[in-house]
Amino acid sequence: MASSLSDAEAPAPAQAARHAKPLSFVVLSLIPKLVLRAPRSGAVFGALVMLALLGPILAEENLLKFGWGLVLARHGIDATEGTLGLSMVLGVIASRGLVRNPRRRREPKDVEDDLARAVSLLPAQANASAGLVRLGDKRVLFSDCGQGFIMYARRGRSLVALFDPVAPKHLWAPLVDKFIAEARRSRSRPVFYQVSPDFLPIVVEMRLQALKLGEQAVVDLSRFTLAGGDWLKLRRSINRAERDGLCFEMLAADAVPPVLDELQTVSDSWLSAHQAAEKGFSLGTFDRAYIASGPVALIRLDGRIVAFASLMTASSSGDAFIDLMRHVPGVHRGMMDLLFVKIMETLKAEGFATLNLGMAPLAGLSGNRRAPVWNHVARQIFEHGERFYNFRGVRAFKEKFDPDWQPRYLVVTGQGLPVLSLLDVTLLIGGGLKGLTRR
């Protein structure tokens, strides 16, 4: 089996002047130089630059080299000196993309009516994750018939749509076409984030470019059980948690408001311990109205709430989605195992068919030598990028529950380098540059 790029394949330093390095090695070699300058500021800046570096790799290597040659020539830089030229141009692009203040447009006066219309369509949709429209941080583009919509947000010069269109499949193509037309009218780049394999025929028909982002974990609740030897370790974990006094509770939406103060305390404790800021767009945030819009699962210890997860359950197919998860650090090793298992058992008893555990970023990318350069670099980051994000830990935790792993993609238009689109998506989710400077 062909492996991903390894240290053994990299040319020795003495040979670098005589042999051109593969582009993926050039990019990877830049990351540690940017990171190891200072303990905190170096890590922050390194993480941001790494994200900027990922964008150009989203194209095939031959096209990438050709594109960079044109850019370098335009800037009067000798394209034959690949490493120096690439780093200089990437630095310019990254700095411009990170510090540019996007144009602000006034929100439409009927934004609340649009949100109410979108929410009214959720029970007819197959995927409960469409409930993220409730956050209110996204705009809504409706189909001409009003029976479906695309939720999206603007960042920089990108119009970023989240997930597949929230509509019956026969409306997807006209909705996507309408969204692309809207982006072009506003002189923006249309971007589709975390779309499913079902979206790929549209990618082909409309000559878009799809790049794998990772895999989404979906548990089939109909076959979920802790019986059998394969589940012994997980059974021991939750049994120990219950013996030590942890108790599970599922609150319906109307029972959530009285405990919002306690939930806020847990959330603040989690954010403080992780030195993290609230995210957004594709991730839930602690907004009181948003949290109270659906059921919430709790873990209590001596009557005090120490962990919770908000759930979305409105769907036509019996799908549920775990959204915001927060816990008080250091309470119990088995606390989150207990929370997840009890959620699954409760939803199964209530007749739900599937539970969406969310994405494992950069997981499951092919290491075949014919795969795009993006795959090889992303696999290296997945394996060795723990300083920036717990890629392997997220995948390992969700793997405990034996999910079906479903690929998810980033889709962009044209054949150019999507570095700015990737930067805009990253800043959109992270809450801007300020949000990214906190973990």
Cα–Cα distance for residue pair 257/237, rounded to 1 Å = 31
Q: How far is residue 424 CA from its own chain's centroid?
A: 13
Angle in degrees, 0-180, between the axes of helices 391-399 and 373-384, rounded to the nearest 10: 80
Among 166, 127, 129, CA closest to 148? 166
Residue 187 corresponds to which tokens in the numbers above? 């002189």
Is 215 in contact with 407 (CB distance < 8 Å)?
yes
**55 pLDDT above the threshold of 50:** no
| Alpha-carbon span 320 to 166, nearest angstrom | 15
Is the per-residue pLDDT at 25 higher than 50? no
Write out 69-95 in H/E/C secondary structure.
HHHHHHCCCCCCCHHHHHHHHHHHHHH
Query: In one letter, which amino acid is 162?
Result: L
d(C-alpha 329, C-alpha 40), whole Å: 22
Percent of the chain with pLDDT over 70: 66
Residue 395: its pLDDT value, please? 84
With contact defined as beta carbons under 8 Å apart, do 55 and 71 qualify? no
Of 369 and 120, the one with more pLDDT: 120
Residue 141 has pLDDT above 70, yes or no: yes
Q: What is the pLDDT of residues 252-303, one digit of tens each?
A: 999 999 999 999 999 999 999 988 788 888 888 999 999 999 999 999 999 9
Task: Report the 10 Å Cβ neighbour count for 298.
Answer: 21
Q: What is the pairing mode between strands 354-361 and 319-327?
A: parallel
Distances in Å between the Cα of 206 and the Cα atoms of 149, 174, 177, 187, 423 are 19, 11, 8, 18, 23
Does the pLDDT of residue 333 top 90, yes or no?
yes
**Predicted local confidence at residue 88, as pLDDT:** 41
Instruction: Measure the CA–CA gap between 243 and 276, rounded to whole angstroms.
Output: 32
The predicted structure's pLDDT at residue 367 = 66
Cα 429 from Cα 50, distance rounded (Å): 16
How many beta carbons lie within 10 A of that of residue 107, not counting itself? 10
pLDDT at 280: 86
> pTM for this structure?
0.73
Rg (CA), the chain: 23
φ and ψ at residue 77, rounded to 5 degrees: -110, 140
Q: In whole angstroms, what is the distance from residue 116 CA to residue 174 CA?
A: 22
H or E stretch covering 406: strand 404-413
Q: Taking residues 149-170, what's their average pLDDT?
A: 95
pLDDT of the residue at 362 = 73
**Per-residue pLDDT, 431:** 64
Tokens coding 116: 């109410």
Give the sign of the dihedral formed by CA 182, CA 185, CA 191, CA 196. Answer: positive
Intra-chain end-to-end CA distance of the chain, in Å: 36
Give the per-residue pLDDT at 279.
84
Q: Which strand (E) or helix (H) includes residue 149?
A: strand 149-155
Task: Name the pLDDT band for 394 (thresholds 50, 70, 90).
Answer: confident
Output the average pLDDT for the chain. 77
Assign 3-class secondary structure to 238-259. HHHHHHCCEEEEEECHHHCHHH
Structure confidence at residue 314 (pLDDT): 87
Say what angle helices 82-99 and 419-430 make with each other, to 10 degrees: 40
Question: Given pLDDT bands bounded at 50, 70 and 90, which one contains residue 385?
Answer: low
Q: Of how many residues is the chain composed?
A: 439
pLDDT band at 106 (very low <50, low <70, confident <90, very high): very low
**pLDDT single digits (tens) 165-201:** 999 999 999 999 999 999 999 999 999 999 999 999 9
Residue 420, pLDDT > 50, answer yes
